[in-house]
A and B are shown apart, each in its own frame.
Chain A
Amino acid sequence: MSRSLDRRSFLARSALLGCSLAASPLVTPVSFAATPGENRLVLIILRGGMDGLDVLRPYGDPAYGALRGDPGLGAPDGAVDLDGYFALHPALRPLMPLWRQGQLGFAHAVSTPYRDKRSHFDGQDMLEAGIGDMSGGLSRDGWLNRVLQHLPGAQAQTAYAIGRDRMAVLGGPAPVQRWSPNADLALSPQAIKLAGLIMQEDPLFDAAFRQAMEIADSDGDAVALSGSNNEMHSEMMTTLRGGDAGKTTTEQRVAEFAGKQLRADTRIASFSINGWDTHERQDAGLPRALARLSEAILTLRDTVKGSVWNKTTVVAVTEFGRTVRLNGSGGSDHGTGGLMVLAGGALRGGRVMGDWPGLDEASLFERRDLMPTRDLRALLGWLLHSQFGLRVSTLETSVFPDLDMGGNPDLTL
């Protein structure tokens, strides 16, 4: 850019470009590289410790009633009986069409190898590191990053960490893409054009900025705003708070963004849903968290659509389950065995998997928690095996070191 370009001629040229940034020669679309395979995996981390016993109520277990009371099957908008033994929490009713199509499933009484201390911090570290022993220190990479390291042809766009959480599960040496819909740009069209101009002097900045524009423009709301600074500021604050509350929730925005990327070149997407640490008044708090989970799954399905949905598996995991008994404030405390939620067009669902340990006191872990009967990493391993063709030997040594995956549960079609 030379100094001879003056403001007037710049603006005159800009006006011809219109407001669509995609049409601007300053910001050409980025072409994403070819990606490995056609199958997709979405990993949702439910941070806080989801109470699996309330989400999928084992009312057929003789000890259930004494621990948790009436499973709520009677009411028209109450829990839904799935198979004569387990009943689904009413807040997940919107997912029932998926269940009937075999696109929703569960694995009960699963956990990571994490035991005893029941700390969110350590539990999530272990869940995301995918290793069975953290006594040697914190892991430097997450298991999903190690998957990428074994995925031939993986590019940065192959995997997306979405949202504000750092998603340690994707952290590590293999490049991944990160984006939070809350980082959306709200700037005047001219500021965006000028920004494109100043970034050109530096290749590192130029490439990142072009890609930012590409992503921001593709997430459903226009990048450029025309308006006053006040409007811009309020838009930024709205964006930072997690979107326009009246229109969409953060989960919807995140899931929609994930869906759009999966429709293109992304094969692995991961994000978090928080709010599961229901120490009190669980009957009020848990439905809100479940509504977010159900919204996220349905938004994903509606965004990726038909043929891509049929190649997609969504898996939601949590760092631990909760105590089998409710505490004195109508909540539950940190426990051990938990629940995995699976969805997707590629899933062989419509079933509750797992080796049910029973809820009688002698069957509990430390007489207080649901006894885990399977390492959740084994199910994730089989999922990765069928979705991405990773060998069992690779999974049991590199992705989840020292794991014995056991029998194949045939998770996908």
Chain B
Amino acid sequence: MPFDPQLAEIRFGCGLSPVVAPPASVAQMMDRLRGPDTIGARFPIETFQTFEARIAAVQIQHKLRRENRGTPEGDAARKASQVMNQEARIAHVGWFGQHLNRWVATDAPLRERLCAFWADHFTATGKAGLMRRATSPYMQTAIRPHLTAPFEQMLRAAVLHPLMIHYLDQERSVGPNSKQAARGGKLTGLNENLAREVMELHTLGVNGPYTQGDVRELAELLTGVAIGPPMRLKFRKDRTEPGPETVLGQSYGGDNPHLRDVHAVLRDLARHPATARHLAQKLAVHFTSDTPDPALVATLEARYLETDGDLGEVTTALLEHPAAWEPTLRNVKPAFHFIGSALRALAVPPAALNGMDEKTMRQRILTPMTQMGHLWQKPDGPDGLPEDDAAWIAPQSIAARLQWAITIPQILLTDIPDPRDFVTAALGDRVPPAVQFAADAAESRADGVGLILASPAFQRS
């Protein structure tokens, strides 16, 4: 099947836009992906380094409060930290708007798709306090810069990121024979959470060739990985389990524990054939179909192994494969993709999202998106969002999509388009007769636009 510009936007991009031209070729898609992140600069999201400064500031207030409990200084510190929390909450919703603005306006939409894909692969979220707002800065710092890098680079950035260390309880894991354990206290044992997820979710896959023994050895190897103030990776030798560890038959570490032991095991896990298979399958499922063409998966796996997991090369292989251009749309857009592509088809101006206060953003987008099955940056577990189409098209979520599509666009836009024009803007050459009929027959512009967006033709990718 040949390259098709509209299909490129629908399957590998953020949907058709009436103002951004679709790409001319695979080469152009890759050039833009490898080029500077102009849309990221235009709609900035805080890096984690900046976010860490917020954490440091709150920590100072917490300390002041502890030291001055019951005094005016203590009360002032409490109020100050409340204000900082509130600011972060508002910023968090603002970043959500920036993610959407990027989807609406980008001419390198593959970057947004891959960023969402890999951020979900490396699902991480904060469990308390300010950290609950940290996911977008984490994406910005640990995921987005590595979309065309060797996988081991992204693996290292994500797994050793303070948000992941916090999310998967690595900060509670201590070698049972470490100096820290000998001192006693609350933390005296292993927590296998991160080690397990690194193998099960991030690299080898649940059917990969590892045992509980490997999980335990990896957990022991990871024991030095901790968080130091204010919120950054710190390798703590006093927590490390003494001696070498054997993971998948390979020995790591020894007498002088060091972060490079962890880097070494992550590199080997990244280059493992099971990881190549796992990631090839996951990419093919995400971008083409729940039951992808085995030839496509095999090609991705082979390219991954040939290039030591070069994600730019693997992405190119995906786009160059004939199965990528099979005309039938077999996937369903997840909720964020659905909303983002709807806003892109409507060419919602940035001011409409940037100007929205927190409460309005929740009412108009975040709460409906929850009804569609996606609680923004509050994942059910470290396995992230479902790939299974049926999980997204359940009765409740389809009702939520239809209701949103009819109700919300008309309040985001001063001029809602004529459905008879919009049907082509949103669907290009793929307008089914029933959707054309609905666009012509709807009682109002809002109904017509909403029905087009709620059509299976628009909801598939």
B window 407-461: CB within 8 A of A? 407, 410-411, 432-438, 440-444, 446-447, 450-451, 454-457, 459-460
Pair A140/B383 contact, Cβ less than 8 Å? yes
Pair B196/A212 contact, Cβ less than 8 Å? no
Pair B403/A198 contact, Cβ less than 8 Å? no
Contact of A135 among B193, B363, B389, B456 (CB under 8 A): B193
Pair A121/B127 contact, Cβ less than 8 Å? yes
Contact of A3 among B128, B380, B399, B437 (CB under 8 A): B437
Pair B380/A166 contact, Cβ less than 8 Å? yes
Contact of B451 among A119, A136, A198, A236 (CB under 8 A): A198
Residue ID in chain A nearest B373 by CB atoms? A178
At the interface, yes or no: A33 with Cβ under 8 Å from chain B? no
A116 to B368 CA separation, bound complex (whole angstroms): 37
At the interface, yes or no: B165 with Cβ under 8 Å from chain A? no
Asked if A116 meets B186 with Cβ closer than 8 Å, knowing A194-B441, A198-B451, the reply is yes
Pair B191/A5 contact, Cβ less than 8 Å? no
Pair B380/A168 contact, Cβ less than 8 Å? yes
- A1 contacts which chain B residues (CB < 8 A)? 433-434, 437
- B354 contacts which chain A residues (CB < 8 A)? none
Contact of B443 among A178, A190, A208, A233 (CB under 8 A): A190
At the interface, yes or no: A197 with Cβ under 8 Å from chain B? yes
At the interface, yes or no: B394 with Cβ under 8 Å from chain A? yes
Pair A240/B441 contact, Cβ less than 8 Å? no
- A164 contacts which chain B residues (CB < 8 A)? 370-371
- A5 contacts which chain B residues (CB < 8 A)? 437
A407 to B396 CA separation, bound complex (whole angstroms): 41
Residue ID in chain A nearest B407 by CB atoms? A236
A2 to B433 CA separation, bound complex (whole angstroms): 6
B457 CB to closest chain A CB (Å) equals 7
- B444 contacts which chain A residues (CB < 8 A)? 188, 229
- Residues of A in contact with B, size category: 35 or more
Most buried by A among B127, B381, B441, B442: B441
A240 to B457 CA separation, bound complex (whole angstroms): 27
Most buried by B among A7, A137, A166: A137
At the interface, yes or no: A413 with Cβ under 8 Å from chain B? no
Contact of B403 among A10, A135, A166, A186 (CB under 8 A): A186
Pair A140/B381 contact, Cβ less than 8 Å? yes
Contact of B394 among A166, A171, A178, A187 (CB under 8 A): A178
- B168 contacts which chain A residues (CB < 8 A)? 137
At the interface, yes or no: B171 with Cβ under 8 Å from chain A? no
At the interface, yes or no: B83 with Cβ under 8 Å from chain A? no
B258 CB to closest chain A CB (Å) equals 26
Pair A208/B398 contact, Cβ less than 8 Å? yes
Pair B398/A194 contact, Cβ less than 8 Å? no
B387 CB to closest chain A CB (Å) equals 14
Most buried by A among B128, B197, B395: B395
At the interface, yes or no: B192 with Cβ under 8 Å from chain A? yes
- B127 contacts which chain A residues (CB < 8 A)? 119, 121
A348 CB to closest chain B CB (Å) equals 36
Pair A190/B447 contact, Cβ less than 8 Å? yes
Contact of A179 among B396, B406, B410, B456 (CB under 8 A): B396
- B247 contacts which chain A residues (CB < 8 A)? none
- Residues of B in contact with A, size category: 35 or more
A329 CB to closest chain B CB (Å) equals 12
At the interface, yes or no: B400 with Cβ under 8 Å from chain A? yes
Pair A233/B438 contact, Cβ less than 8 Å? no
At the interface, yes or no: B116 with Cβ under 8 Å from chain A? no
Bits for A1-38, please: 1 = Cβ < 8 Å to B, else 0: 11101010011000000000000000000000000000
Pair B192/A137 contact, Cβ less than 8 Å? yes
- A116 contacts which chain B residues (CB < 8 A)? 186
At the interface, yes or no: A262 with Cβ under 8 Å from chain B? no
Contact of B382 among A2, A10, A138, A209 (CB under 8 A): A138
At the interface, yes or no: A215 with Cβ under 8 Å from chain B? yes
At the interface, yes or no: A318 with Cβ under 8 Å from chain B? no
Pair A229/B446 contact, Cβ less than 8 Å? yes
A37 to B3 CA separation, bound complex (whole angstroms): 55
At the interface, yes or no: B190 with Cβ under 8 Å from chain A? yes
Asked if A180 meets B396 with Cβ closer than 8 Å, knowing A185-B403, A198-B438, the reply is yes
Contact of A187 among B190, B393, B406 (CB under 8 A): B406
Pair A198/B435 contact, Cβ less than 8 Å? yes
At the interface, yes or no: A195 with Cβ under 8 Å from chain B? yes
A251 CB to closest chain B CB (Å) equals 18
A5 to B441 CA separation, bound complex (whole angstroms): 10
Contact of A233 among B382, B383, B411 (CB under 8 A): B411
Residue ID in chain A nearest B200 by CB atoms? A137
A201 to B191 CA separation, bound complex (whole angstroms): 50
At the interface, yes or no: A237 with Cβ under 8 Å from chain B? yes
At the interface, yes or no: B233 with Cβ under 8 Å from chain A? no
- A residues with a Cβ closer than 8 A to B are 1-3, 5, 7, 10-11, 116, 119, 121, 135-140, 164, 166, 168, 171, 177-180, 182-188, 190-191, 194-195, 197-202, 204-205, 208-209, 211-212, 214-216, 229, 232-233, 236-237, 240
Q: Which 9 A-B pairs have the closest CB atoms?
A: A202-B456, A212-B395, A137-B193, A212-B399, A211-B395, A7-B441, A1-B434, A194-B438, A205-B456
- B residues with a Cβ closer than 8 A to A are 127-128, 168-169, 186, 189-193, 196-197, 332, 363, 367-368, 370-371, 375, 380-383, 389-390, 393-400, 402-403, 406-407, 410-411, 432-438, 440-444, 446-447, 450-451, 454-457, 459-460
- What are 9 A-B residue pairs whose CB atoms fall within 8 Å in the complex? A137-B168, A137-B193, A166-B380, A191-B442, A191-B447, A194-B441, A198-B432, A215-B396, A236-B403
Known: A137-B197, A188-B443. 10 other contacts (CB 8 A): A119-B127, A135-B189, A136-B192, A177-B395, A194-B437, A198-B434, A208-B397, A208-B398, A209-B398, A240-B363
